[in-house]
Structure 1
Amino acid sequence: MHRPMTATPLITRPEGLYCPAGDFYIDPMRPVARALITHGHADHARAGHGAVLATAQTLDIMALRYGEGFAGARQVAEGPLRIGDVTVGFHPAGHVLGSAQIKVAGAGPSVVVTGDYARTTNPACAPWEPVACDIFVTEATFALPVFRHPDPAQEIGKLLASVAAFPERAHLVGAYALGKAQRVIMLLRQAGYDAPIYIHGALQKLCDYHLSQGVALGDLRPATVARGKKGDFAGAIVIAPPSAFAATWAQRFPDPVICFASGWMMVRARARQRGVELPLVISDHVDWPELTTTITELNPDETWVTHGREDAILRWCALQGLAAKPLRLIGFEDEPE
């Protein structure tokens, strides 16, 4: 039996989710005096805050992306911390390296802010763990029943089958620099692919950082094509940010097969719009079955929905007799998955 909500520890402000009892924001969209950050993607981690509290890996990643002066002060989240009148804890989210769910507990109901999270095993980061709470704040990136992501190993199998079928062509895989690129590389290694993998220069720093954190990416080499040497990349797998494919960079490679690793590749129109020949449905977010399973298992008194498609999951909660509401945070955009 769910108890009625008393005053909640988090409220919405133009800057984002705010905790009055602790005087901090979680993943604020504007610079604030004190920010708690769930992970290093730019739609959650912004520069310019007075102080930032996050996992050690997220702080490192923010420094790599924004420079060492990305905040006035920084603090590593280690164990439960008392901030004002609340206790905060950071728990693995399974999204990208360093990603965390943030639990806030005080005199009233406890709340868990997931940021972004994934329940499918990701060899490039710590696995998601369930965290009991009264209020569950969930993302809704793929919160439609149509989104049922396949086994990522199956998608990597498609890539390797194409490489075997077209040994004269380079396979260029679009993958975002933080998280997705390293996950694709790890999935290839787990599938037994031990050949060199070539990476765009924009991925180098973050791949080097993953290696320093014990993520075994294997033999990575720069995707640099010397004049008259494009044939050297026949049969190679090249990982690059999707933005690279909009330029002439991709044409440096021999008859490239354009691939894109994303949960959005379930939508054929998106693949066609991007000129993707081989879509790879690999996501670092929960899909519809994982989202509904998570809410069912945690069984919070309330579910707050943000960052994506709210209507379907709100309707599902209503049909299950579960209390839910949209946050509609101003300024949040879909992460380019």
Structure 2
Amino acid sequence: MKPEALLHPTPAGLYCPPGDFYIDPVAPVGRAIITHGHADHARAGHGAVLATPETLAIMAVRYGEMFTEKRQPIAYGEVVEVNGVTVWLVPAGHVLGSAQAVVEHKGTRIVTTGDYKRRRDPTCAQFEPVPCDVLISEATFGLPVFVHPPTDGEARKLIASTEQFPERAHLVGAYALGKAQRLICHLREEGYDKPIFIHGAMKKLCDLYEELGVPLGPLEPATIEKGKGEKDRFAGEIVVCPPAAIQSTWARRFPDPLPAFASGWMRVRQRAKQRGVELPIIMSDHADWNELTDTVEEVDPSELWVTHGREDALVRWAELQGRKAKALHLVGYEDENE
């Protein structure tokens, strides 16, 4: 069958007519396949949700009583039939529980990557390429300028800064789901065994990662009670917090706070300068340009469909390689949830 008859974009998201389900819909629908737990992909309000057990657990923590959907957990590689359409999930390497959705019907196979990356991440399963007729790829960092450095070096850079500036609290902005836990794990791998302080907004998800088998080491709450002389104990320490908290009154409670930010966007110096970031940590949970193009070449699909991000650049690259490609122009997704 033609790929567009199996899966195509609609205002609510990618829709599969023969299966009557959506992938990462941006509006409430009857049945949704969710690739991962970030809020721009995993919204509440659907009739039924199919996802990995980890993604369902993340959604339950984030939405609480709002998450009333019928839930169908499936493990990586487990094959199910949805109204006659074959569906299975494979690791995307983005965050814990993240998956690519593989949809197959009448001899046509489409793989939707969701958000993904190729480099090793101690907090989640490694990306697995799947041969297919159509690859639907994200393109958050779909420009050649975005080539992320080795992650271990970025973790060592942060540790070295705490040693160079032992009088300053290092406030590191990191998204609460995935980025914060990955940053912590990479710091542990580089030998940082001191307690890491976390903003209260991080606690539930860090606790969940621990429950799901991802050890984070000693964590302590980043709280300072006014008038109790606790400020100095944060000198030279690492404090992980939501990016927005760095510019808040909360941040000013710490001793000479040094603002840092863990993001792929820190490759662009102007972005770091605009946010007042002194220590840019180039660490992304999305594929960089080389990972995007290498994935297309490895999967070798008959068609490449590109969504949310720098769509036109990746489409143009594919066309120059002699590949059939198009941009889907889906709306409702953020560049890096930051």
1:8 is displaced (CA, Å) by 3.9
Deviation at 1:332, TM superposition (A): 3.0
Separation in 2, partners of 1:196, 1:145: 38
- Give the conservation status (yes or no) of the 8 Å contact 1:97–1:179: yes
Residue by residue over 1:53-77, the C-alpha shift from the partner in whole angstroms, topping out at 9 and shown as x without a partner, is 1000100100111114414311102
| 1:24 aligned onto 2:21 | yes
2:204 counterpart letter in structure 1: K
Helix, strand or coil for the counterpart of 2:29? coil
Aligned partners of 2:331, 2:287: CA distance in 1, in Å?
Answer: 22
- CA–CA separation in structure 1 for the residues paired with 2:40 and 2:69: 20
Cα separation, 1, equivalents of 2:152 and 2:232: 29
1:60 corresponds to 2:57: yes
1:43/1:335 contact within 8 Å kept? no
The answer to whether the 8 Å contact 2:92/2:117 transfers is: yes
1:27-46 → structure 2 map (5 Å cutoff): 27-46=24-43
Partner Cα distance (2:165, 2:329) in 1: 46
TM-superposed deviation, 1:7: 5.2
User: Which runs of 5 or more residues in structure 2 are unaligned?
Assistant: none
2:44 matches 1:47:
yes
Shift of 1:5: 5.1
Look up the equivalent residue of 2:22 and give its one-letter code.
Y
Alpha-carbon distance in 2 for matches of 1:185, 1:8: 44
Deviates more, 1:130-139 or 1:62-71: 62-71
SS, match of residue 67 in structure 1: helix
C-alpha distance in structure 1 between counterparts of 2:326 and 2:307, whole Å: 9
**1:171 equivalent in structure 2:** 170
Q: Give the TM-score normalised by the residue count of structure 1.
A: 0.97
Q: Distance in 2 between matches of 1:27 and 1:274?
A: 30
**Secondary structure of 1:185's partner?**
helix
Matches within 5 A, 1:208-287: 208-227=207-226, 228-287=229-288
Give the conservation status (yes or no) of the 8 Å contact 2:40–2:332. no
Residue segments in structure 1 that go unaligned for 5+ positions in a row: none
Distance in 1, matches of 2:237 and 2:113, equals: 37
Q: In the alignment, which residue of structure 2 is the partner of 1:103?
A: 102
1:14-163 equivalence runs, <5 A: 14-78=11-75, 79-163=78-162
Counterpart-to-counterpart distance in 2, 1:310 and 1:141 = 8
**Does the C-alpha gap of structure 1 residues 221 and 6 become closer, same or farther in structure 2, counting only changes over 3 Å?**
closer
Matching residue of 1:206: 205
- Partners of 2:129 and 2:70 in 1: CA distance: 30
Query: Deviations 1:130-176 (Å, cap 9, x if unpaired)?
Result: 11111000000000000000001111111111111111111110000
Q: Distance in 1 between matches of 2:193 and 2:334?
A: 37
Matched-pair contact (CA < 8 Å) for 2:169–2:235: yes
- How far residue 38 of structure 1 moved from its aligned partner, in angstroms, is 0.1
Question: Do the aligned partners of 1:171 and 1:259 also contact (CA within 8 Å) in 2?
Answer: yes
**Does the 8 Å CA contact 2:3/2:110 hold for their aligned counterparts?**
no
Query: Equivalent residue of 2:159, what SS?
Result: helix
> Which amino acid in the other structure matches residue 211 of structure 1?
E
Asked if structure 1 preserves the Cα contact closer than 8 Å seen for 2:3 and 2:134, the reply is: no
My pick for the range that moved more, 225-234 or 145-154, is 225-234
Q: Offset at 1:285?
A: 0.6
The alpha-carbon distance between structure 1 residues 70 and 20, as it changes in their structure 2 partners (threshold 3 A), is: same
Q: Which residue of 1 aligns with 2:193?
A: 194
Find the aligned partners of 2:334 and 2:244 in 1 and give their Cα distance. Answer: 18
Measured after TM superposition, the shift of residue 6 of structure 1 is 5.7
> Does the C-alpha gap of structure 1 residues 218 and 6 become closer, same or farther in structure 2, counting only changes over 3 Å?
closer
After superposition, what is the alpha-carbon deviation per residue over 1:28-85, rounded to whole angstroms, capped at 9, x for unaligned? Answer: 0000000000000011000100111100010010011111441431110231000112
Q: What is the TM-score of this pair, normalised by structure 2?
A: 0.96
